[in-house]
């Protein structure tokens, strides 16, 4: 948790040619007329600034950067379908390769490997389920202290990873909780993460005229404009001023520790925009909030260090800061420094989360964690500000509404079920619903059941 005091995301790949366009047994919703995941997530619209930062920070060629965004979108959709199909045997998924062209899906059931390969993905047979490893992590969370600050499931090694700042700290934690060390990898770390203390994503704002943090993502709640940010930046009632030191608004709700989420309501002088501040101050468009898979590229915008990119390492990580433990954050290789807290993480044009904390810096490199955005939107009833929404082939003027329980603006988690047009659908990838993303239109996000 790094406090900063005041003054101190292409040309689309042809859908038929995508390596990861397998449907994993998808039914009628995956008819050729339906858009690919890359089309649904508009990866072809990635701005030059985002592509340039990916090239700089990930060592990519221009073609690799464009291909990577498309491959990541298809991989996320394929992995989500397989997770739904494999059920309890699912043991995680990740992408590899400079252009993220290889998707691997792990399972504990040998009979699943043929179905995985049929989608174009690689299959890996392992001994531990993702759910089982997550349950072990939750046990450790309740007993972890500052000497074992980070705990997460690594699907590649099929183990639970515990980072320790002191020799023997992880072993003591495992012994105290009765956790089998055979399923645990211990990593020694020299630096413990700390929250990155310190209406466009990445711009600075100031709390009570002193501390500085960064705007996460502009949102609306009814007629009110505001933004999502990190909970450790302020408590309910904390007043804020903008990057220009003009009075801005106040924190309406905040949670930290436990989670690291908050939202600020702005005065009528401030208008929410569908942008994140990119390289050189250019606007990067936000078109949705589909969480991307492990291994995917992600870029961060913050008021101290600006625009930097890296990859997603693990989801659902637990971190113990000096102030307490937060769970459900995502671990990344993106660097950050004090004052970047609360700022935006975006993959392509999909909002991912807000900066929580980390270690290292942007000179020597580091590790950071973001609080996923969808839980913030859901918890506070917020609507992400997005640009270029395509209404899709929905009802025309005078046509009857299809009806059902699906509703634009609702945040749906993977596994949630809705009805639409007389059919039932199961959510494959968590996201906030929007016009144009009705279940029949986006098989990357919904499977008919």
**Catalytic residue list:** 232, 260, 341
CB 11: neighbour CB atoms within 10 A? 12
Q: Which stretches of 200-248 are DSSP H helices?
A: none
The CA distance from 24 to 79, in Å, is: 9
82-115 CB burial, b ≥16 within 10 A, e <16: bbbbbeebbbbbbbeeebbbbbbbbbbeeebeeb
Q: Residue 235 phi/psi, 5° resolution?
A: -105, 165
> Which residues lie across from 368 on neighbouring strands?
332, 358
∠ Cα 381 304 163 (to 5°): 75
Q: Which of 331, 266, 259 lies closest to 295 in space, CA to CA? A: 331
- Residue 88, C-beta contacts closer than 8 angstroms, at least 6 positions apart: 129, 131
- Residue 424, C-beta contacts closer than 8 angstroms, at least 6 positions apart: 417, 418, 448, 449
Q: Residue 39 phi/psi, 5° resolution?
A: -70, -40
Residue 169's Cβ-count burial label (10 Å; 0-12, 13-18, 19+) is: buried
């Amino acid at each position: 948790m790094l406090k900063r005091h005041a003054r101190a995301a292409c040309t689309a790949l042809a859908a038929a040619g995508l390596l990861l366009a397998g449907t994993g047994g998808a039914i009628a919703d995956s008819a050729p007329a339906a858009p690919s995941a890359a089309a649904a997530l508009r990866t072809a619209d990635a701005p030059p600034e985002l592509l340039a930062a990916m090239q700089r920070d990930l060592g990519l060629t221009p073609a690799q950067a464009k291909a990577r965004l498309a491959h990541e979108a298809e991989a996320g959709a394929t992995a989500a379908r397989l997770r739904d199909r494999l059920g309890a045997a699912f043991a995680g998924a990740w992408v590899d390769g400079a252009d993220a062209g290889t998707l691997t899906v792990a399972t504990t059931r040998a009979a699943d490997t043929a179905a995985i390969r049929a989608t174009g993905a690689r299959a890996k047979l392992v001994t531990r389920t993702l759910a089982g490893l997550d349950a072990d992590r939750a046990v450790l969370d309740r007993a972890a202290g500052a000497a074992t600050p980070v705990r997460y499931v690594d699907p590649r090694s099929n183990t639970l990873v515990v980072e320790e700042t002191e020799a023997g700290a992880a072993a003591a934690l495992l012994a105290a909780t009765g956790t089998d060390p055979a399923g645990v990898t211990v990593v020694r770390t020299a630096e413990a993460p700390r929250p990155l203390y310190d209406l466009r994503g990445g711009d600075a704002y100031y709390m009570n005229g002193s501390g500085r943090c960064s705007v996460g993502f502009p949102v609306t709640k009814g007629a009110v404009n505001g933004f999502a940010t990190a909970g450790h930046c302020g408590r309910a009632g904390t007043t804020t001023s903008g990057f220009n030191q003009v009075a801005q608004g106040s924190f309406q709700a905040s949670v930290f520790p436990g989670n690291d989420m908050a939202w600020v309501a702005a005065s009528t002088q401030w208008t929410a925009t569908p942008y994140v501040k990119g390289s050189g101050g250019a606007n990067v468009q936000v078109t949705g909030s589909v969480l991307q898979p492990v291994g995917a590229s992600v870029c961060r915008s913050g008021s101290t260090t600006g625009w930097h990119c890296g990859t997603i390492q693990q989801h659902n990580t637990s971190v113990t800061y000096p102030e307490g433990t937060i769970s459900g954050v995502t671990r990344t290789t993106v660097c950050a420094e004090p004052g970047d807290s609360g700022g935006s993480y975006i993959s392509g044009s999909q909002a991912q989360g807000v900066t929580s904390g980390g270690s290292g810096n942007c000179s020597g490199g580091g590790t950071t964690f973001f609080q996923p955005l969808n839980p913030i939107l859901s918890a506070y009833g917020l609507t992400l500000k997005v640009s270029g929404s395509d209404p899709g082939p929905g009802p025309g003027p005078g046509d009857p509404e299809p009806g059902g329980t699906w509703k634009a603006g609702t945040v749906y988690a993977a596994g949630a079920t809705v009805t639409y047009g007389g059919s039932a659908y199961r959510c494959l990838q968590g996201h906030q619903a929007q016009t144009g993303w009705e279940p029949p239109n986006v098989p990357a996000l919904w499977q008919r059941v």
